[in-house]
Homo-oligomer: A and B are copies of this chain.
Amino acid sequence: MKRESLKKLCESAKRSSEPLALVSSQDKNRALRAMAKAFLRGADRVIRENQKDLKAARAGGLAQSLIARLTLDKAKIKKIANSLVSIAGLPDPVGRVISSVRRPNGLVIKKVRVPIGVILIIYEARPNVTADCMALCLKSGNSVILKGGSEAFHSNGVIFRILSEAAARCGIPKGVFQFITTRGRSAVKSLLGFSQWIDLVIPRGGEGLIQHVAKISRIPVIKHTQGVCHVFVDKKANLEKSENIVVNAKVQNPAVCNAMETLLVHEAAASKFIPRICRVLGAKGVQIRGDEKTRRFFPGIRKATQKDWTAEYLDLVLSVKVVKDLDEAIRHIQKYGSHHSDAIVTQDKKAAAVFTDSVDSACVFVNSSTRFHDGGEFGMGAEMGISTDKLHARGPMGLEELTSYKYVVLGSGQVRG
């Protein structure tokens, strides 16, 4: 797409965001249910387009795990449609009064949730994200510009067309959904300069892409970047719970950002726990890389290098380190972690409190798996992703995180003295 077409597309998104902000919850929910129905009706069309992407992916030698993410079948289509319906059922954040105070001079000052405006999402090759983002942005009253991974180009395109046509039939302003048809990153640079029309950029996916976006963007960015997540097994940890949590955090879905990448073990627990957990994880196909002390307790594993402490493996690989106390565990996490999801396993309430106070991560867990760091598990309904930034939104970005606020001040002629 040429720069001029991109401009027009962004202007249209901005213009449409004004009437969209005023659409009632009822009308938005009706549109979301109609979108779900249209999507189910269009299942064959979706699968046909998805086949084009899959064919290219196989020809291009895309990794099996990425092909699995890319594949749409009837079951996945049903799941996506259900997600649209469930978003229709969530409370509408727009117009919600966050606070209301009456000042001594009689002014009533209300803080009210409003849409952000226009959101650009740049995402990996996961077609379900197209539908989720369209639904979340519609419900939160935002126009959305979709720039999906080129490997999912045909799948994203057909999902976009079916859903935006269904929404338009329900009276949703045309222009609130925009789809970038240029493959690759060529359009991204232009878009990131259009701060007069786009209010927020959400890049998801690989670290390289996200850093590139953050570097060149003239528009505020909320990054959804990597998780180098830790579990720390304290000296007062229950070892059975520790085993369950460590196994779950590493093995249940190793390819995601809230999976554990490094296990830290208190030296007082190491002689018992390290041989036990290494055997269990080994049996589950996990390759372990240990520091020197770990290898003393469980010889034969590979030696961890400096690079392992910052690695996001997204795979059945784990680095393990023995630490001398809680403080060393915290310092390791602060230094090498990515401030995403970190857990302590302990029966010692004081140690748990020091850990949750001192570890500066989006989500800090006590006696539970890092895998729970997820909008659905938090009870927020769907999510745009998990923010690793500290401004505006941290952790799961749901409907509320897709809003801003304004102050509405009601008076009866007051002037400032």
Residues of A within 8 A of B (CB): 18, 21-22, 101, 103, 107, 109, 114, 116-117, 195, 199-200, 214-215, 218, 220-222, 238, 240-241, 244-245, 247-249, 252, 334, 352, 356-358, 360-369, 371-373, 377-379, 389-392, 394-395, 404-416
Min CB distance A387 to B, Å, is 10
C-alpha spacing A360/B373, complex, angstroms? 34
The 6 residue pairs across chains A and B that have the minimum distance between CB atoms:
A368-B411, A248-B415, A241-B413, A390-B404, A371-B416, A392-B392
Closest-CB distance, A185 to chain B (whole angstroms): 19
> Are A220 and B220 neighbours in the complex by a CB distance under 8 Å?
yes
CB distance from A327 to the nearest CB of B (A): 12
Q: In the assembly, what is the distance between CA of A407 and CA of B377, in Å? A: 13
CB-defined contacts of A114 to chain B, threshold 8 Å? 360
* A292–B367 CA distance with the chains assembled, in angstroms: 72
B413/A361 in contact, CB under 8 A: no
Q: A334-B18, A413-B238 are in contact. Are A406 and B364 (CB under 8 A)?
A: yes
Contacts of A358 in B (CB 8 A): 18, 22
Chain B neighbourhood of A363, CB < 8 A: 406-409
Contact A391 B200 (CB under 8 A): yes
Which residues of the partner chain B approach A244 to less than 8 Å between Cβ atoms?
Answer: 413, 415
| Nearest CB on B from A23, distance (A) | 11
- 29 A-B residue contacts at CB 8 Å? A21-B357, A101-B378, A107-B372, A114-B360, A117-B390, A238-B413, A241-B412, A244-B413, A245-B415, A352-B410, A356-B408, A364-B406, A364-B407, A364-B408, A364-B409, A365-B409, A366-B408, A366-B410, A367-B412, A367-B413, A367-B414, A368-B409, A368-B413, A368-B414, A371-B415, A390-B404, A394-B405, A394-B407, A395-B407
Instruction: Closest B residue to A349 by CB, please name it.
Output: B410
Q: How far is the CA of A327 from the CA of B248 in the complex (A)?
A: 57
Asked whether, in the complex, the Cβ of A360 is within 8 Å of the Cβ of B406, the reply is yes
Interchain nearest-CB distance for A350 vs B (Å): 14
How far in angstroms is the closest Cβ of chain B from A83? Answer: 19
Instruction: Report B-chain residues with C-beta under 8 Å of the C-beta of A367.
Output: 410-414
Cβ of A408: which chain B residues have Cβ within 8 Å of it?
356, 363-364, 366
Residues of B contacting A252 with CB < 8 Å? 415-416
Interface pair A372/B409, CB less than 8 Å apart: yes
**Alpha-carbon separation in the docked complex, A415 to B362 (Å):** 19
Which residues on the B side are within 8 Å of A369 (C-beta)?
414-416
Query: For the complex, what is the distance from the CA of A217 to the CA of B367, rounded to whole Å?
Result: 39
Residue numbers in B under 8 Å from A101 (CB-CB) = 378-379
Q: Chain B nearest CB: distance from A45 CB in Å?
A: 34
Q: How far is the CA of A268 from the CA of B365 in the complex (A)?
A: 63
Residue of B nearest to A19 (CB): B358
The residue from B247, B368, B389 contacting A220, defined by CB atoms under 8 A apart: B389
Determine the distance from Cα of A362 to Cα of B109 in the docked complex, in whole angstroms.
Answer: 12
Minimum Cβ distance to chain B for residue A370 (Å): 9
Q: How far is the CB of A71 from chain B (nearest CB, A)?
A: 23
A189 CB to nearest B CB, Å: 15
Least CB distance from A348 to B in Å reads: 13
Q: Which residue of B lies closest to A414 (CB)?
A: B368
Q: Which residues of B contact A366 (CB under 8 A)?
A: 408-411
CA distance A217 to B164 in the complex (A): 36
User: Other than the known A241-B413, A367-B414, what 20 A-B pairs have Cβ atoms closer than 8 Å?
Assistant: A21-B360, A22-B357, A200-B390, A220-B220, A245-B415, A247-B415, A248-B415, A248-B416, A252-B415, A352-B410, A360-B406, A362-B406, A363-B408, A364-B409, A366-B411, A368-B410, A372-B411, A372-B414, A391-B404, A395-B407
A415: chain B residues within 8 A (beta carbon): 244-245, 247-249, 252, 368-369, 371
**A287 CB, min distance to chain B CBs, angstroms:** 21
B residues within 8 A CB of A218?
214-215
Q: Is the CB of A394 within 8 A of B406?
A: yes
- Chain B residues lying within 8 Å of A214, measured Cβ to Cβ, are 195, 218
